[in-house]
Chain A
Amino acid sequence: MAERSFAKEVQKLRLGDGETFTGEGILAITKALLQCGVGYVGGYQGAPISHLMDVLADAQEILGDLGVHYEASASEATATAMLAASVHYPIRGAATFKSTVGTNVASDALANLASGGVTGGALIIVGEDYGEGSSIMQERSHAFAMKSQVWLLDPRPNLPSIVAGVEHGFELSEASNTPVMLQVRIRCCHVHGSFVAKDNKRPPMTVADALENPRRDTGRIVLPPASFLHEKEKINRRLPAAIDYIKRHRLNETFGGEGKVGIICQGGMYNGVIRALQRLGLADLYGETEVPLHVLNVTYPLVDEELVAFCEGKDAVLVVEEGQPDYIEQALGSMLYKADASVLLEGKGLLPEAGEYTGDAMLSGIGAFMRKHAGAMLAPEIRAPNEPAPPDFDDLARTVPARPPGFCIGCPERPIFAATKLTEQELGKHHIASDIGCHLFSIMPPFELGATTMGYGLGPASASAFNSPEAKRRSISFVGDGGFWHNGLTSSIGNAVFNKNDGVIVVVDNYYSAATGGQDILSSRATNRTKSTRHPITDAIRGMGVNWVRHIDRTYDVGRMRHVLKEALTTPEKGPKVIVASSECMLNRQRREAPHKKKAMADGKRVVRTKFGVDEDVCTGDHACMRLSGCPSLSVKHLDNPLRDDPVAAIDQNCVGCGNCGEVADAAVLCPSFYQADVVSNPTGWDRFWFGLRRRFIGLLQARRERRRLLFGTAA
């Protein structure tokens, strides 16, 4: 069950010819796939296209009705390899994953897919996570397109353009027998807009038809001598075919009329460029620009003729190309030089060499270009802005705290790292290798655990060099359940077994691929209608040859977690020590349980709700508990008491009663301030009887003592 349900929205996928579709970018992409008669879709979740996978999962019924096969791939490599179905058969297929993280994983399959080429259109939708919250922003999908010689579409970020991108993507792929990558940036995936829909199409050939009538063509298989021919074919046949298609269908667009200066930009940069021109007074609300603009909806291959023609007669052009290195600018320089052009080429230099092209970067870059080469087009105040110096907010900058993402309220991974921190307090610091996933938040305060993160499922692999009989301590490495199934089982666990690695491996099992939005994986406990779940991680690890395996089925037991970790670090047993720490992702658990609890409560059934609290007069305000938690629900508050200097711990109403506070206070011997309160709704008669009896007894004792002492309105 994914974090976000699209059950309602996917009904929009049924819209027919002429109807207006309104919604998010990812949903529009899905609709476009169906309109194109796609035969199979798959992919691996990851921001920003996680929701695309969720949409597909929620749309399985609609896909099924059309005879479209849906696959939740094990990894990006799997997803790309799946596109092999389009090699011999005229079936359109689409795969989606996060770029460039996923594209890296997919690279091997991509090379082979690109070598033999495709018969049916093969589309790879890559979600570009660049800018805020991104994990890998310093690499470009562009490089993958170039190295594998597959075509890269980068449509303008509005729904009609994205939909057109999908349609042309398939046709371009078929026209040139080459897989096509469609790049969508993160905000574009979640942009809300509309387009006019077409009817969905059944694939002319389904995967079932293909299975019934197998075909093969040795010439398409990647093995010499065929692969030598593929190399030539790429240049001699596929590239010209692609360029021909791009030109014929005018995939790249030119806006504005004549002018002495012009701008060339990637499709995805279009809105940002127009916004800058709007603010400079050079384009209107609807994008009608006075500065000629050439928009590359296809960023690879580049069409030399079009670009040289655009530059002809111009004094200067500016290339707006996000990311580094500047592949487009370099290529343009080369083609202009060969064409003996005299136009001045500007790009990186006026615009930032690296980093996201934010509105600010665009405004100052394009502004600088215009001031330099066409100052007369600008209003005087824009040409020579005389702005007052921006106010100085030094004190504010010092005051506002950083707020990186962290573990959610009640997260079952928090106690794992609390236990690790406590273990380190006892046994000293260790080399800790982290992995991709929510558990990577351990590197942040308050835990500050983990030295490296090398890739999804590669946590233990990245500690593999730290295996020495001379060392007195072992390495600790983490891998999540998502990473474990993605790649970790072989690359990390198998590798550790084979190389007799003596380190400690902790598998953080939260029942889902939680960081990407709670998708099910092999070891998920849920019953999934279309996928096979409930495959224990411990079985897989034992099957891989690990002898020392411990399973903790309630991570909130900090004491036990610490004990097992200590045992793993000190046992004389050789070989990898693997601890599987399992508890359900609290975000998903709440989403699963909250409606049931609400209903049970309304139905008059007995329901227990647990919450933690702090006795503020017992708490001394040292905050040791927070240094082992970081829970958003556990915070501090100021007491209205002149005798108290420091704020005390307080737990807010969002507490889900996971127990970490109490367990940590116990395991770390902190303080007796925490209490657990269980509220029983709709108690049984027996409950009420006992409760009444206990309350009377307690009331008697309290009254007896309180009669004999002074009572103060508020205890200090």
Chain B
Amino acid sequence: MSLTLPQREDRTKGIIKLAVLAVGGQGGGVLTNWITDLAQRAGWHVQSTSVAGVAQRTGATIYYVEMAPKDPSRQDDLPVMALSPSPGDVDILIAAELAEAGRAVLRGFVTPDRTVLIASSHRMLAVSEKIVPGDGRADSETVLKRTSEAARRTIQFDMEALARQAGSVISASLFGALAGSGELPFPRKAFEETIRAGGRGTEASLAAFALAYDRAAGTAGATAAVPGPAPVRGGVSGPGALMERWTSLAQRAAALPAPVQEMAKPGLAKVVDFLDPAYGAEYLDRVERVAAEDAETEGWVFSREAAKYIANAMVYDDIIRVADLKTRSARAARVRDEVELGEGQILTTTEYFHPRMEEVCGALPVRLGAAIEARPRLMRTLNRVVDRGRRIRTDGIVGFGILWVIGGLRRWRRSLLRHKVEGQHLEEWLARADEARRADYALGVEVLKCRRLIKGYSDTHQRGLSKFDRVLSCLEPLRGRSDAADWIRRLREAALADADGVALDGAIRTVRSFTEEPGKSTG
């Protein structure tokens, strides 16, 4: 019987199957309506479906469209179409965000035999990526690479940026990329008429559409993962005497080995910006001292990391620095840019501060600050006055004036308590790193890198310091082990994985478990 039957194959080849994966609020519904309308205007059979509800609330959501040309011999018949996409059965997949393109691949909606993937390469970070104390962002390169491999053809570029450039939203540039891909047999004009028929924000939508159209038509088949151009670092300017001192400092930095320079140059600028050229000289003294003991055979790794983290350590975050940064003209200009302040508009800025007595003491002369800190009851009493949220209007005369004056305390910084504390801490850390380096070069580098753990203000800063201390407390038990550097790296990464230090506790327990074994000898 089977011999008489024709060879059967998939009978849905006449249908174009298109899925849109978007994050709620991205306008996936608008895009789907446009696509449906487009096919309908062309006289095609079309069916679209969506799952509303999640659509506004930032979750991942799928829209699905099927379309087929009308068969003149079957004018009255309606094709039977599916209501949701099936793995291995999608012709065009539009992803409005890069991770969603990855999700589409994982769900099997992108297959090398048939699917063209049209994806915006920008990221909208998920909550899980943002709440990590370190860098929790997913690796975009993996997603770009794997999604391109999974598709028959890939069109990827930052459609969000193009849309913004045109003053529109991403649905318009996605529609443009779809048109530019040439995957749907409708002329460009038909797409544009569909947008016009929609009515709202037509001009901006058409502009975004055109930008994406050209890009998709031009780069068809290519994966475009172009990072934005690096911002140009401005030069240094200032009064003559200071410039002379700067030049001599810059020359000193330029004399350092090339890999060290890469960190020492921005480091020097950061340190001088924080205080004065003399502080820059202090910085270079330290870096040069480290570099003198380092070796080219090691690639100068230790001095390079030292140049980076010494600068960060010397530029500690105190209220003087915050006040200084917030009262600069460059900062005011940046805020104006960010809010896109137009002609005839005016701007007010309110800063959210919440200083505590600890921060105030840090900004007092060493003996006074230390004396107050040594009296807990006095601290508590004074804290009652200090510890509260303060909203400071930096566009106002009083608010700006206060911050300006605090920023001016800069010149007395060397005599203040916080400076002393930070200086001591820096020297201790550097000494430990040095000591570690002498025994195990890689370990020394890892100890330097632990400085990354110290960041934030108030409680967050305390927590960072405590993590730093806890990681380095493992130095002693790990001493002499060939994998000590690796363990310090792992401990540091664990410390950056969550805020409460759960991962770090676990990692420390692991270290303790094998270092406290009674039989431990050579390691």
Contact = CB atoms under 8 A, between A and B. Distances in A.
B414 interface: no
A188 interface: yes
Contact of B131 (A359, A626, A665, A698): A626
Interface residues of B, number: 153
B308 A643 contact: yes
Contacts of A274: 80
B234 A713 contact: yes
Interface stretch (B141-149, B175-183, B292-300): B141-149
A621 interface: yes
Given A400-B99, A445-B128, A694-B397, A618 B325 contact: yes
Contacts of A286: 74, 77-80
Contacts of A408: 25, 56-58
A715 B325 contact: yes
A710 to B, nearest CB: 4
A641 B266 contact: yes
A516 to B, nearest CB: 8
* Size bracket of the A interface: 35 or more
Nearest to B500: A627
> Which residue of A4, A187, A641 has the most chain B CB atoms within 10 A of its CB atom?
A187
A630 B46 CA distance: 38
Which of B47, B80, B133 gathers most chain A CB within 10 Å? B80
Interface in A108-129: none
Contacts of B335: 613, 675, 677
Given A642-B263, A707-B239, A709-B242, A379 B8 contact: yes
Contacts of A713: 232-236
Interface stretch (A72-80, A313-321, A505-513, A645-653): A645-653
Contacts of A663: 352
A618 B325 CA distance: 8
A670 B52 contact: no
B345 A710 contact: no
Interface string B5-20: 1011111101100000
A380 B7 CA distance: 8
A532 interface: no
Contact of B266 (A270, A403, A643, A681): A643
Most chain A CB within 10 A, of B46, B57, B262, B330, is at B57
B59 A711 contact: no
Contacts of B47: 191-193
Given A50-B53, A672-B352, A697-B397, A192 B83 contact: no
B48 interface: yes
Contacts of B455: 620-622, 646
A675 B105 contact: no
Contacts of A703: 329
B137 interface: yes
A421 B394 CA distance: 31
A412 B329 CA distance: 34
A694 B339 contact: no
B47 to A, nearest CB: 6
B348 A678 contact: yes
A438 interface: yes
A278 interface: yes
Interface stretch (A141-149, A245-253, A428-436, A683-691): A683-691
30 contacts: A133-B53, A133-B59, A187-B49, A193-B47, A275-B80, A281-B11, A282-B8, A286-B80, A287-B79, A359-B86, A380-B7, A400-B102, A405-B58, A408-B57, A438-B57, A441-B57, A618-B325, A623-B132, A635-B124, A643-B308, A665-B354, A671-B458, A677-B338, A679-B339, A679-B346, A710-B243, A714-B234, A715-B328, A716-B266, A716-B270
Given A191-B49, A286-B78, A286-B79, 7 more contacts: A285-B12, A286-B80, A379-B8, A623-B131, A632-B58, A675-B349, A702-B329
Interface of A: 3-4, 22, 47-48, 50-51, 131-133, 157-158, 185-188, 190-193, 270-272, 274-275, 278-287, 358-360, 363, 376-380, 382, 390-391, 393, 395-397, 399-409, 438, 441, 444-446, 517, 559, 587, 611, 613, 615, 617-618, 620-624, 626-627, 630, 632, 634-636, 640-643, 645-647, 653, 661-663, 665-672, 674-683, 687-688, 691, 694-695, 697-699, 701-703, 705-716
